[in-house]
Amino acid sequence: MPTIKDVARKAGVSVGTVSRVLAKNETVKHPLKLRVQAAMEELDYKPNLAARALRTNSIDVIGLLVPDITNPFFAQLAKNIEMEAAKRGHSVMLANSHDDPETERLQLSALLDRAVCGIIVVATSDGSETKPTDVPIVSLDRRFGSYPLLATDHFDGSQKIADHLYSLGHRRIAYIAGPQTMEVARQRREGFVSRMEALSNAQDPIGLTVVEGQFDYDSGEEIGRSLLAGRPADKRPTAIAAASDQQAIGVLRSARDLKIAVPVELSVTGFDDITLASLVVPRLTTVRQPIESLAASAVSRIFKDDTTAADEAIAGEIVVRESTAPA
């Protein structure tokens, strides 16, 4: 049975190069990789994965730590990360922090103990207490420690929503922000509010109300009801922009209960484009996060193990559906 040394000899490379090709390490130059792959095919070499895991103290598994897998956005993100990992012959080990910093710390430690080849973290905490490790860690969607951040351009996405509502003639607008302890929520709020302030002027003023809530259905419903209930049509907002699709769907629910027609009497927008956004009635206008690009870039960073990588913001896309109309 051929060994890794036989493959190295056949390809005219070092054993270390063969190991890096097997690990799908992108630092191996393409011509060398092709030579190694050709040698493995010619020798019918089958790597002993169990032995390699013991030798390198790592396994072909990527760790993924998210705040709450029941959140539809994180579920879609996890699915795409799993698909990207599978393209490289790796599987994904999923852990939840349940939005608790201490649980996050314990789960991160557990993933490191299992000798995963890298970890993608959607943070709950700021990660400031995380100890240095040789395992590549990617900070995704939310900043974690000193690891470079890979995320959607939340500021730009919120500005696109502001422009859309303004173009429809809405001038009495409410914005439901996410919890301002989170960088994502702050960026979305700053993008929307700054754009509305720039568009407003003395001849054509915009009345903007900002309310902070949680990124969930119940918060959206509760705040939506408070903004709409008991107010005559000429005093309530003609549009409500929510910082998440879950909040926006909660607003749709409150509007329905109050018999306020969407979008005839009220336009509603979200952010994320979770699967449910295209299934509710009316279908939700929102910002689509580039989940496929985020997943591909996150997995790629694990294999490149690039400690010099910079923060990267990927633009989202506004998806106009039936929940918005002219004021």
pLDDT, position 85: 92
What is residue 310's predicted lDDT score, i.e. its pLDDT? 86
- Nearest partner of 21 among 42, 3, 35, 41, judged by Cα: 35
pLDDT bucket at 15, cuts 50 / 70 / 90? confident
Q: Position 51: which residue type?
A: A
Residue 285 has which token pair? 């206008």
Homologous superfamily in CATH for domain 4-54? lambda repressor-like DNA-binding domains (1.10.260.40)
95-124 per-position pLDDT tens digit? 999 999 999 999 999 988 877 888 999 999
Considering only the top CATH level, what class is 154-290?
alpha beta
Using pLDDT thresholds of 50, 70 and 90, give the confidence band for residue 307: low
Which residue in 15, 11, 47, 46 sits closest to 32, CA to CA? 11
What is the pLDDT confidence band of residue 308, given thresholds at 50, 70 and 90? low
Q: How confident is the model at residue 59 (pLDDT cuts 50, 70, 90)?
A: low
pLDDT digits (tens, 9 = 90+) for 16-49: 687 778 767 777 788 888 998 899 888 888 765 5
Q: Say yes or no: do domains 4-54 and 154-290 share a fold.
A: no
- Specify the CATH architecture of the domain 58-147: 3-Layer(aba) Sandwich (3.40)
Q: Is 120 helix (H, G, I), strand (E, B) or coil?
A: strand
Residue boundaries of the structural domains of the chain: 4-54, 58-147, 154-290
The structure tokens listed for 112 are: 């490191």
Digit-coded pLDDT (tens) for 235-245: 999 999 999 99
Please state whether beta strands 286-288 and 317-319 pair in parallel, antiparallel, or not at all (unpaired). antiparallel
pTM score, whole prediction = 0.79
